[in-house]
């Protein structure tokens, strides 16, 4: 997973946050059968604003190690800086992306 900082306007639902999981040699990890939750946390207050399962078209390409967060409801309603993490379960054990040693994945919502 390449860490990226994503910017979007308040109340917009695009661009999505894309993720591709690869092994140490750069080959795509097959995530077929995995369940993936997105956790979005406000960096200024450390308040979790979302913790939900990715579904449908968000997880349509798991065999290629790809998924995306498509914003829902009020997830983009407040300007600010947010941490985004993905909890992946069911493929050789549970893990979180990005792991702490890779840095922080951020979403910046602007007015």
Confidence (pLDDT) at 57: 93
Domain range spanning residue 25?
5-110
* Nearest residue to 89 via CA among 56, 53, 58: 53
DSSP state of 27: P
Query: What CATH code is carried by the domain that includes residue 45?
Result: 2.60.40.3350
Confidence (pLDDT) at 92: 77
Confidence (pLDDT) at 4: 80
Q: What is the pTM of this model?
A: 0.92
* Nearest residue to 21 via CA among 67, 55, 60, 53: 67
Confidence (pLDDT) at 3: 80
Which parts of the chain are beta strand (E)? 5-9, 17-20, 35-42, 47-53, 66-69, 80-89, 95-97, 106-110
Count of domains observed in the chain: 1
């Amino acid at each position: 997973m390449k860490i990226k900082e994503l910017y979007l306007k308040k109340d917009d639902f695009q661009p999505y946050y894309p993720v591709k999981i690869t092994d140490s040699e750069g080959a795509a990890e097959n995530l077929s059968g995995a369940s993936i939750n997105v956790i979005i946390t406000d960096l200024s207050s450390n308040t979790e604003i979302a913790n939900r399962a990715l579904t449908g078209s968000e997880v349509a390409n798991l065999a290629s190690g790809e998924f995306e967060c498509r914003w829902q409801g009020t997830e983009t309603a407040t300007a600010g800086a947010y941490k985004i993490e993905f909890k992946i379960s069911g493929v050789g054990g549970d893990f979180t992306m990005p792991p702490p040693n890779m840095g922080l994945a951020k979403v910046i919502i602007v007015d």
